[in-house]
Chains A and B, each alone.
Chain A
Amino acid sequence: MWSMTAVTDDDKLDRETAKKVIRRSWQFARPYRRTTQAALVLVTFWTATSLAGPVIVKYGIDEGLVKKNGHALNMAVAAYVVTTIAAYFIARLQFVYINRAGEGFLRDLRVRVFDHLQRQGLSFFDREKTGVLVSRMTADIESMGELIQWGLLQFVSAGLLVVMSLALLFTLSWELTLLAMVVFPVIVVASVRFQRDSNRVYLTVRECIGNNLSALQEGISGVRVIQAFAREDEQARRFQESNQALFASHMDSIKVSMWYFGLVEFCGILATASMVGVGGYLVHRGSVSVGVVTAFVLLLGSLFDPVQQLSQLYNTVQSAGASLQKLYGILDTAPEVGEIAGAVDLPEVGEVEVHAVGFEYVPGRSVLHDVSITVGIGERLALVGPTGAGKSTLAKLMARLYDPTTGTVAFAGIDLRDATLRSLRQRVVVVPQEGFLFSGTIRDNLAIARPSASDDEIAAALASIGVLDHFLAFPEGLDTEVRERGSRLSAGERQLVALARAALVDPAVLVLDEATSNLDPGTEAEVEHALESLMLDRTVIVVAHRLSTVRRADRIAVVDHGGLLELGSHDELVALGGKYAALSAAWERNQVAAPQPTAPDGSPPVR
């Protein structure tokens, strides 16, 4: 079977880049150099043993059979046995060595790339697609695994085999070698062309497979619409089109490979035929022995096979090179937010002070400009404004998820950039809209916030927001596996875990992003209650989406077009008659649609 790895033009490395990638990999593989060198030495030996067979047969025929020397024949048999056994053990060893080096290399690569990824700032993750980053760490590295398991050895040994068998043939008989060299270039040229053509065809096949899969997916996930509009026949016809295109591309790929394999078969036999003819002539003339001719017939395989292997491995090696280059590209990206030398710990409590802050995600496109605001100790501030106005960005800056482009954000008078990251994360905690859980137990998910926390502390954190009993009621309690993304818990329960996580840190400042959509009704009230407990006695900055939340805030900041538009309490802002007043009035009007007994303070009832 021919290799099914295809390389697009974008992935092909030029000579310079390839050299760099190889040099860098060699540096990277420093801890495994000795093992690698040992493996290379073993491969050389192994290649030699596989060539020894025909040579020994030649010796046996010439010295033993032709000269009627029984001793020489026995020697030949003994030597053959010895080399075969040696070959087995050398082969085993080389496998072990190359895998030890290779798997070690991949392990280091995984760890290093991941650590480097984690040191990137958030803007890096905003820019890069999650899927791409994940596939760098998985598919790209795994594809190299195949190369390490057998490809690399085969690549080296095939190269060595060509060189060594040519050298060997030459010493046996230069005339016959020259003869073999007539066929050899045909194989080389055919292999190179085959490699190129099959790569091209396979790229088409891959595209057709992709199209076919999306037609399939469209049909299956769109089945309700298709049936609702009685469109089954048309859809089947369209699927057939993509299926036929796929079939045709497969046929193209077979055409490419069938001629190649036919030609290789023919060349091998042709070479044998000419060996018999010309070799026989030379034997008659007395310039070579029958043994040499036999050795040639047997050795031709080891000259032609490796060329085919090399051409098939070429793509695999190329795509591994491309993967490595991408991974090194990640390692070369400088981390963004870091801790400066001589950073200080933040004090226990303090005001959050935003001073003349401006921010751009993309240089030249201002998201916030000249925003100044001070949040007092224990104050609750609601950020309000239309989508894209910059209120979430402002909240993120207050937690130093990003650094401001201009101006400063300070806690207790200390610029956040001068603070140790550790103390910063203890003072300021962000609770996102939706509770993000990691696979593992509920306990593991809390401990993310403070790995050193004891079981009692974890229980206390849950109890402090009044949800300990909820989770203890699970059959496995806090040891319940939440599964990937916490899929075993409801959205509300996930949010509870996220809140408990924040409680475990016990921060001075809480930055909240309120959910825009409803949680499951069952836990809605519980989440509401937990949130209130968590906010108690802390400075709270909440990106508010509901008027009920806004009403409960001490002060409201209306953010619009990247600037601070209005700031004050609900009553002050309503009195001001500005945008907040309009907004509040709009909500009141909406109430009319659904008359509802309202609480005396005018806030909507909590469901």
Chain B
Amino acid sequence: MGEVVEPAQVQPAPERTPWRLLTDLLAQQQRGLIAGVVVGMCWAAAKVSIPRLIRNGIDRGIAGNESLLKWSFIIGVVGVIAGIFTAWRRWLAFRESRITESRLRERLFNHIIRLNVGYHDRAQTGQLMSRASSDLQQLQSFVVMIPLTISNLFQVVAILVLLLTSDPLLALIALAPLPLVNLSARRFSSKIHPAVMAVQNRQAALATVVEESISGVRVVKGFGAEGVQARKLLSEADQIRSVSLEAAKIRSRFLPAIDILPSLGLIGVLAVGGPRVLNGDMTIGQLVEFNSSVMLLIWPMRNIGMTLATGQRAAVALQRVQQVLSTESTVTDPLRPLALPVEGPLGALVLRDVRFGYDPERPVLDGFDVSIPAGTSVAIVGSTGSGKSTITRLMLRFYDVQSGAIEIDGCDLRSLSLNDLRHAVGVVFEDTLLFHDTVAANIAFSFPDAAQERIVSAARLAGADEFIEHLPDGYATLLGERGYSLSGGQRQRIAIARAILADPRVLILDDATSAVDPSKEHEIREAMATVMRNRTTIVIAHRPGTIALADTVLLLDGGRVAAQGTHDELLTGNARYREVLASFAELEAVVDVDVEADADATLIDQPGSDSSIPEPIGGG
């Protein structure tokens, strides 16, 4: 049973067994779980007593002379008890399982967002998501079964004892088919599982055909390939039908059997018990008691089978969760963090002989050496893949240098607490991630408690104030995937406001304008110039206008500083520099955009021209 385990997840066997994680968690919930078990036992006792009470009602009340009222009253009272305890037992079991799930999810989240970025670069978002969602759900559906199964077991044992002590032979006959129920339930799960997987695989294959035909509808139509796709779909639909019918065959063989097997026990009771009643060895009430008891056993027996199956799935899920939790972040706070100096000119930055590669064998930066005096700015120019953005990652300690050192105001980054470091270094990324929250909260990202005035003034400096005021709810407008969507330029201005509010001593503008429409870039540039004033800044850019914002320019090539100077000096004196810039220019020699960049108003889109119209012929 169980899920397909992704190969990446299996490799290192966790040292602690996965169950240890669960038992630790459950130990914290001892009281709730014990209460669940105790209540469950009361429930089981009530349930078990009912067949005996019915027997007494029939034998003593109906066939005998005792008061009918007495027996039906007792049964009624037990009914009330059973009802209450059924509800209570459910409540406790579900509550405890949800508590486990909920606590573990918080723990996982806390752990995941603190794991080093190197881990996240390798891990897939979807997989981490399923650790904290579907895996925990598997676990929850197992935890809920723990108290329920204990009381079910208690019920089974109690009934078995009652039946065996009152009539061992009849009990054996009545119970004989029940192991078969359990057995066929288990065989059923092992047989149906591959069949269901096959159905799911075929469904996924059909989904691919559908998805491709719709996303690629322009290609399909453009070549008149509807027939080709229709044939593919027909074959997939036929296959789904045939594998589904295979699964149905398995179901048809087992499900009715599981349903009907207990009846065999009932027949046995009638066949063997009947003559005894005729002989006077047994009463009708006893016969009915046997019948009802056997019926009571059916559900718990099936349930125990289910618990075993969910237990196996939960073990796999637990193991995966455990693997994430036992991964230690490789970037951590030092034991005794230094404090950054607070006096004098702040923000002096030195990168000394830095060597770093994602694959240590193939360094991206090697012998990278640069020193940036406090309050000055440097533009880093280099071709795609030259390691520009790697510098940002090293500055934030997303990764640690392999050799050499990076120092801010004389302190090695590794000697600072992560919190201090990341407040000292601010970044405007190429693509700004906005969170599902208000504009204000997105700006006050590094200081959630920042006063409104501080937020507004940061926005004003970033040139974002004006458009924010025009948003439906101003600073309270919700952004993010499910909120109001902003243009690339607007997002970047929010990001700059974010950096201004954080007030870092070192600022990195990591390709901050590349996602912005060139016609809007000059607006961003102004904002960038504002935030750069008197602040140590690294500008990673490829448009000449942005590069010119910095005091000096540095050409990054072959993992080291290949040339350094002003933009004009490099332009005239360095062939490689020209080459790199030209490759960017070629990238951007896009006719319609260029016209807009030229701010020739006549060719700029008229307001109201429909931007929702699909522009490319193909793609989609």
A223 to B28, alpha carbons, bound, how many Å? 30
Bound-state Cα–Cα, A582 to B63, Å: 110
Q: Within 8 Å CB of B291, what residues of A?
A: 57, 298
Chain A residues 236-282 with CB under 8 Å of chain B are 236, 239-240, 243-244, 246-247, 250-251, 254-255, 257-259, 261-263, 265-270, 272-274, 276-281
Q: Do B585 and A227 touch across chains, with their CB atoms under 8 A apart?
A: no
**In the complex, are the beta carbons of B606 and A561 less than 8 A apart?**
yes
CB within 8 Å of A: which B77-120 residues: 78-80, 82-88, 90-91, 94-95, 98-99, 102, 105-106, 109-110, 112-115, 117, 120
B174 within 8 A of A: no
Could you say which of A137, A220, A239, A396 contacts B210, with CB atoms under 8 Å apart?
Answer: A137
- Answer whether residue A34 sits at the interface, using C-beta atoms and an 8 A cutoff: no
Chain A residue contacts of B256, Cβ below 8 A? 87-88, 91-92, 95
Q: Which residue of B lies closest to A67 (CB)?
A: B278
Q: Give A114's nearest chain B residue, CB to CB.
A: B233
**For residue A68, which residue of chain B has the nearest CB?**
B278
With A111-B233, A115-B230, A586-B600 in contact, is A65–B284 under 8 Å at CB?
yes
Contacts of A225 in B (CB 8 A): 429, 433, 445
Partner of A64, one of B227, B278, B604: B278
Distance in angstroms from B548 CB to nearest chain A CB is 10
Query: Is A342 an interface residue when CB atoms closer than 8 A count as contact?
Result: no
B214 and A138 contacting across the interface, CB-CB below 8 Å = no
The B374-404 residues at the A interface (CB cut-off 8 A) are 396, 398
A145 touches B244 (CB 8 A): yes
B226 to chain A, nearest CB (A): 4
Question: Any chain B CB within 8 A of the CB of A448?
Answer: yes
Q: Measured between C-beta atoms, what is the minimum distance from B326 to chain A in Å?
A: 18
| Known contacts A64-B278, A272-B50, A447-B228; is-contact A595 B571 (Cβ 8 Å) | yes
CA distance A111 to B236 in the complex (A): 10
Specify the chain A residue showing the minimal Cβ separation from B504: A229
A354, CB-defined interface residue at 8 Å: no
Task: Give the residues from 124 to 152 in chain B that come closer than 8 angstroms, CB to CB, to chain A.
Answer: 125, 128-129, 132-133
Least Cβ–Cβ distance between B574 and chain A, in angstroms: 12
Contact sample, A vs B, 29 pairs, CB 8 Å cutoff: A57-B266, A70-B275, A95-B255, A99-B248, A103-B240, A103-B244, A107-B241, A110-B206, A134-B207, A217-B129, A223-B112, A229-B502, A235-B113, A262-B88, A277-B61, A277-B72, A361-B613, A385-B603, A387-B605, A389-B605, A485-B212, A498-B219, A547-B591, A583-B594, A587-B589, A591-B585, A593-B585, A595-B571, A604-B586
For the complex of A and B, 8 pairs with smallest distance between CB atoms: A432-B618, A266-B83, A277-B72, A269-B79, A262-B87, A91-B256, A95-B252, A99-B248
**Interface residue? B304 (CB, 8 A):** no
CB atoms of A118 and B213 under 8 A apart = yes
Nearest CB of B to A405, in Å: 14
B12 at the binding interface (Cβ < 8 Å)? no
- Known A-B contacts A137-B210, A281-B68, A449-B225; the reply to A232 vs B619 at CB < 8 A is no
CB pair A111 B215 closer than 8 Å: no
Q: Return the contact of A429 from the options B223, B230, B266 (Cβ within 8 A).
A: B223
B502: A residues at CB distance < 8 A? 229
Kindly supply a per-residue 1/0 record for chain A positions 205-239, scoring 1 wherever the CB is within 8 Å of any chain B CB and 0 otherwise. 00000001111111111111111111110111001
Partner among B109, B223, B271, B603 whose Cβ is within 8 Å of the Cβ of A579: B603
For A65, A246, A269, which residue has the most chain B Cβ atoms within 10 angstroms?
A269
Please give, as numbers and ranges, the residues of chain B lying within 8 Å of A117 by CB-CB distance: 213-214
Give Cα distance in the complex from A298 to B427, angstroms.
74
- Are the C-beta atoms of A276 and B57 separated by less than 8 Å? yes
A294 touches B79 (CB 8 A): no
Interface SS, A side? helix
Q: Indicate whether B340 reaches chain A with its CB closer than 8 angstroms.
A: no
User: Is the pair A240, B611 in contact by a Cβ cutoff of 8 Å?
Assistant: no
- Residues of chain B from 497 to 516 with CB closer than 8 A to chain A in the complex: 498, 502
CA distance A247 to B101 in the complex (A): 9
Judge whether B411 is part of the interface by a CB distance below 8 angstroms. Answer: no
Cα–Cα distance between A282 and B102 once the two chains are bound (Å):
55
With an 8 A cutoff between CB atoms, is A352 at the interface? no
- The reply to whether A432 and B219 contact each other, CB–CB distance below 8 Å, is yes
- The verdict on A216 contacting B129 (CB below 8 Å), with A388-B611, A422-B224, A548-B589 known, is yes
| Residues 213-259 (chain B) with a chain A CB within 8 angstroms | 213-230, 233-234, 237-238, 240-241, 244-245, 247-249, 251-253, 255-257, 259
CB distance from A524 to the nearest CB of B (A): 10
Chain B residue nearest to A268 (CB atoms) is: B79
| With known contacts A227-B396, A367-B610, A70–B278 Cβ distance under 8 A | yes
**Least CB distance, B510 to chain A, in whole angstroms:** 10
Q: Across the interface, which residues of B come within 8 angstroms of A481, CB to CB?
A: none
Q: Which residues of B contact A595 (CB under 8 A)?
A: 571, 578
Pair B617/A401 contact, Cβ less than 8 Å: yes
Chain A residues whose C-beta falls within 8 Å of the C-beta of B69 in the assembled complex: 277
CA distance A263 to B452 in the complex (A): 54
Q: In the complex, A232 Cα to B76 Cα: how many Å? A: 57
Q: Closest chain A residue to B141 by CB distance?
A: A1
The reply to whether the CB of B476 lies closer than 8 angstroms to some CB of chain A is no
Residues of B near A212 (CB, < 8 A) are: 133
- A357 within 8 Å of B (CB atoms): no
Q: How far is the CA of A588 from the CA of B106 in the complex (A)?
A: 57
The minimal Cβ–Cβ distance linking B279 to chain A, given in whole angstroms, is: 10
- Which stretch of B348-356, B416-424, B528-536 is in the interface? B416-424
A77 touches B271 (CB 8 A): yes
Contact with B along A276-290 (1 / 0, CB 8 A): 111111011000001
**Interface membership of B300, Cβ < 8 A:** no
A216-B132 contact, Cβ under 8 Å, with A70-B275, A118-B226, A516-B590? yes
Render A588-604 as a binary contact track against B, CB cut-off 8 A, 1 for contact.
01110111100000001
A374: interface (CB < 8 Å): no
Q: Does A15 contact B (CB under 8 A)?
A: no
Q: Contact between A220 and B125 (Cβ–Cβ < 8 Å)?
A: yes
Beta-carbon nearest neighbor of A546 in chain B: B589
Closest chain B residue to A221 by CB distance? Answer: B125
Q: A345 → chain B, closest Cβ, in Å?
A: 13
Cα-based distance from A401 to B252 in the complex (angstroms): 50
Say yes or no: A276 contacts B82, CB within 8 Å. no
In the complex, whether B595 has a CB less than 8 A from a CB of chain A is yes
Given contacts A103-B241, A277-B71, A432-B618, contact A232 B113 (CB under 8 A): yes
Interfacial chain A residues near B210, Cβ < 8 Å: 114, 133-134, 137-138
B594 engages A130 (CB within 8 Å): no
A294 touches B271 (CB 8 A): no
Q: Is B62 among interface residues, defined by CB-CB distance under 8 A?
A: yes
> In whole angstroms, what is the CA distance A220 to B264 when docked?
55
| B-chain residues with CB within 8 Å of residue A544 when the two chains form the complex | 591
Q: Tell me if B585 and A590 are in contact (CB < 8 A).
A: yes
A221 with B433, Cβ < 8 A, contacts A228-B396, A433-B619, A517-B587 known = yes
Contacts A125-B620, A545-B590 known; list 9 others, CB within 8 Å.
A95-B252, A99-B252, A114-B230, A145-B244, A222-B433, A228-B422, A262-B86, A290-B63, A386-B595
In angstroms, Cα B224 to Cα A236, docked, is 52
Bound complex: CA of A596 vs CA of B582, how far in Å?
Answer: 7
For A550, the chain B residues whose CB sits under 8 A away are 591
Q: Let me know if A448 and B267 touch, CB within 8 A.
A: no
A425 within 8 A of B: yes
The interface residues of chain A lying within 8 Å CB-to-CB of B544 are 593-594
Count chain B CB atoms within 10 A of each CB in A57, A240, A505, A579 and give the residue with the most.
A57
Closest to A270 in B: B79
Return the CB mask of B581-601 against A: 1 if under 8 Å, else 0. 111111111111111111010
Interface pair B226/A73, CB less than 8 Å apart: no
Say whether A276 contacts B75, CB under 8 Å. Answer: yes
Contacts of B422 in A (CB 8 A): 227-230
Residues of B within 8 A of A518 (CB): 586-587
Q: Which of B182-225 contact A (CB under 8 A)?
A: 199, 203, 206-208, 210-225
A7 at the interface (CB under 8 A from B): no
Q: Is B616 an interface residue (CB 8 A)?
A: yes
Contact A130:B595 (CB < 8 A) given known A229-B502, A401-B221, A543-B617: no
